[in-house]
A and B are shown apart, each in its own frame.
Chain A
């Protein structure tokens, strides 16, 4: 399990992500979180993970734990086409900025989130958004659910093969009681 950044030169600073070695880690973090939020980029609809797209899995995960989803860029269309309505859609930099603001009222007016999960953005763009959260949103934990190690998340999968990735995602879903 490689735990260096997928893009070799995107080396982090002194504070680095912990590696998700077991799917139980994600499950435990999700169960512990009071207000999780799931931010989904457009690549989730492009990435094939063995017969289905990543976004199909993400929908099941969101439903299993009732996590509000923010679709970035034009990803909303992919959700709607699949009969799922996210809690919101907005640009990646907009949601990134709002997650830093302790005064933000959240998507539902109930305030800031304590756990933000990211998946499906361009690697380097997610990299800098997670870096921002790492430094400026100290009360919010972040998880990267992508196939590649994201060093600025609080927790990240290591670099994984597609098969291994699918297996991990499946485990998380099963343990959360999803379909």
Chain B
């Protein structure tokens, strides 16, 4: 699978020397010959090969721009004022500039995952060899790489094969990023098309990373009953040395566990993690513990519990060296992407590094050899823990009360807080001796500590909140199911029909970061609500952790309350950020395994299938990062709508449908070629919800698809109406748009809905075999 210089297919080829039929030529890239599946039209697509599909999506889901900045400052022509129709010196208007910024964000996100995958694959090849087989599901997964098959048209069989795919991904990211240069792309729709391309590339990059680590490290391979692992600061045994790992690229953490095991030390040291490295280390060793999502990073470090902090890459607080020094914890950076200004000690003897860290001669080191990180981290933890035993980093409650008296009530902390938490009144109460109001902020705090930077008198506000809620923090003990990896083929066979026909009302994927408007509890509430309604709930990353950080009346966490099978009523943790393609992959595999559609290099047809038939919705309630942006855009191109929380409105644009524009909601009936109105299904592709309640109603609504059978549509409408009535107190005002025939009407609401339909002048509509692609019309001489 080397670089492709030329590829063409011909039904019939006549030359002066020969006549040939069904000719397929690829020069520069060798396509697998023993794979019966025909190669589709767009293997290894370039940045413009799927432009037509993108424009179809963008003509229905028009970009709604939410300017986050009115000027452009990317070149020395600027700053350019782009307000109210003005153009910059390069000719760009604000709409194009905003879409350009979205592209840049998605390129950052895609580059981060692809760079992560590249480092991981290189490391694993060094350890396990290029011929290490890809094995993500033993004999339960035949379609091992659905996204890669779909996009690239190849089936990777070994770690070495993954390198070739990474070559392609890196090339695409370079081209995409180059489009953002001054004087390149100029039209907002083409920027948006490239955003979708970045998202698709990102999905492949993530899939490569997770396939590699599952295969080489033996993570759970599509296992529905993956072990329950411990979650929460309260699960950490404080009597032992504690090594905290943070980030996303797991080899250093793996080598810590290996070193402990090889030296019979595992029971003597706690290994715990924050963010996706935490997920992945528990997939490697279920004895490791997850502290929590990214938003718990600073609170856990400030608690003083970690004896050694090891960071790899992504989503790491960038002043963590300084924070580690405050708690006297040695710091090890383990990725060249995140050197933190530390001396490179990779080639020094381990014991020498340990001595320097334990003595405090250096606050931290950079070690770019995961094996050495394992040895140094363990030895340092064992030596430094006894020295730190009596050290207390958090202020006492008395100190909080005393310190709060310095507060001048200027409200700068509140004005810096992303969620406008009521810090100043709480500080006032603390100054009067009552720290309960400060403690009450703990659950909603996202841990950014902007409040501290803003305080003119230097009150360590975040530490005061944590100290006030210390008891609660140390009592947080939950369970989360270790990331299971892909969905089994047999699971897809079992649920493919009910999902496509609408009888399983939908697949809800809760993914992404922890920039929540009201704490992580809302994510757990959303997950439980839809699992109880027999949707399939899938989770990954920090959202998967937030779901676990909840207990019901019986004391069970959602992962104990609901099964881990990909089936109605399940809550499934697929794993870390790079496990997200297993969610996209499940939708793709429904088209392949259930509907027997060819995947291989056949992106447009499969995306059309998913958009029209697979009732899946992504929810990134606390989406914060550029990676979250690119992950979302990968889902959009595939026809899966994504809902973000209110902070997601700062991503600069939504992709919204207009249900009041009837002309936007016609599809072809593939049987007849007729154009048929199918209603606003799904209504939006990228949507920011203001509240949890609105999010839940929208999830139910966005699960409707043109292909739903009447039975399926009735089930979906039941959930939509029920949630709407519960949270909004009234019937939805758009039911008539979703009822196609009287058989679609939920039986228990028949009279009420018939009356509404009559008032709206509703008429029956046919249920088509829906597609947006004229080439899929089976009847010759169809509409176009």
Contact = CB atoms under 8 A, between A and B. Distances in A.
A74 B727 contact: yes
Interface string B547-585: 000000000000000000000000000000000000000
B697 to A, nearest CB: 8
A125 B688 contact: yes
Given A6-B415, A93-B654, A122-B517, A41 B67 contact: no
A66 interface: no
A113 to B, nearest CB: 15
Contacts of B517: 122
Nearest to B415: A8
B729 A124 contact: no
A112 B70 CA distance: 25
B67 A132 contact: yes
User: Max chain A CB contacts within 10 Å: which of B517, B646, B687, B697?
Assistant: B646
A91 interface: yes
A57 interface: no
Contacts of A132: 64-67
Contacts of B94: 135
Interface string A4-27: 001111001111000000000000
B50 interface: no
A97 B650 contact: no
A99 B698 CA distance: 21
Contacts of B525: none
Contacts of B647: 124
Interface string B399-432: 0000000000000100110101000000000000
Interface residues of A, number: 42
Given A8-B454, A81-B729, A93-B656, A138 B84 contact: yes
B258 interface: no
A134 B690 CA distance: 21
Contact of A122 (B67, B454, B690): B690
Contacts of B698: 91
Contact of B646 (A76, A88, A96, A122): A122
Nearest to A11: B69
Given A15-B83, A74-B693, A91-B694, A129 B66 contact: yes
Given A129-B649, A132-B67, A13 B81 contact: yes
User: Max chain A CB contacts within 10 Å: which of B654, B691, B733?
Assistant: B691
Contact of A74 (B70, B71, B654, B694): B694
Given A8-B454, A13-B83, A73-B693, A131 B70 contact: yes
A125 B727 contact: no
B67 A135 contact: yes
Interface string A102-137: 001100000000000000011111001101101110
Contacts of A76: 728-730
B733 A97 contact: no
Contacts of A131: 66-68, 70
B281 interface: no
B308 interface: no
B290 to A, nearest CB: 30
A8 B476 CA distance: 33
A146 to B, nearest CB: 11
A72 B690 CA distance: 8
A7 B420 contact: yes
A2 to B, nearest CB: 10
Interface in B351-409: none
B691 A42 contact: yes
A128 B693 contact: no
Contact of B83 (A14, A73, A89): A14
Contacts of A125: 646, 649, 688, 690
A128 B70 CA distance: 11
Contact of A128 (B67, B689, B690, B729): B67
Interface in B457-495: none
Given A128-B68, A135-B94, A93 B688 contact: yes
B729 A77 contact: yes
A179 interface: no
A89 B415 contact: no
A131 B454 CA distance: 25
Nearest to A123: B420
Contacts of B766: none
A94 interface: yes
Interface string A133-159: 011101000000000000000000000
B64 A96 contact: yes
A105 B83 CA distance: 26
Nearest to A101: B658
Nearest to A4: B415
A64 interface: no
A14 B70 contact: yes
Contacts of B727: 74, 77
A6 B691 CA distance: 21
A89 B729 CA distance: 12
Contacts of B415: 6-8
Contacts of A89: 728, 730, 733
B85 interface: yes
Contacts of A129: 66, 649
B728 A74 contact: yes
Nearest to A81: B729
A78 B170 CA distance: 51
B64 A97 contact: yes
Contact of A13 (B71, B729, B730): B71
Contacts of B733: 88-89
A92 interface: yes
A14 B688 contact: no
Nearest to A71: B728
Contacts of A124: 418, 646-647, 649-650
A91 B687 contact: yes
B683 to A, nearest CB: 9
Contacts of A1: none
Contacts of A92: 688, 690
A123 B652 CA distance: 15
Interface string A54-85: 00000000000000000011101100110000
A138 B649 contact: no
Nearest to B734: A90
6 shortest interchain CB distances as A-B pairs: A13-B70, A77-B729, A128-B66, A73-B690, A74-B693, A73-B694
Interface of B: 62, 64-71, 81-85, 94, 412, 415-416, 418, 420, 454, 517, 646-647, 649-650, 652, 654, 656, 658, 660, 687-691, 693-694, 697-698, 727-730, 733
16 contacts: A6-B420, A8-B416, A13-B81, A13-B82, A42-B691, A73-B690, A80-B729, A88-B733, A89-B733, A93-B66, A93-B687, A104-B660, A125-B649, A134-B67, A136-B65, A138-B85
Interface of A: 6-9, 12-15, 41-42, 72-74, 76-77, 80-81, 88-89, 91-94, 96-98, 100, 104-105, 121-125, 128-129, 131-132, 134-136, 138
Given A76-B729, A93-B649, A135-B65, 17 more contacts: A7-B415, A7-B416, A73-B689, A73-B690, A74-B694, A76-B728, A80-B729, A88-B733, A91-B690, A121-B690, A122-B646, A124-B647, A128-B652, A131-B67, A132-B67, A135-B67, A135-B94
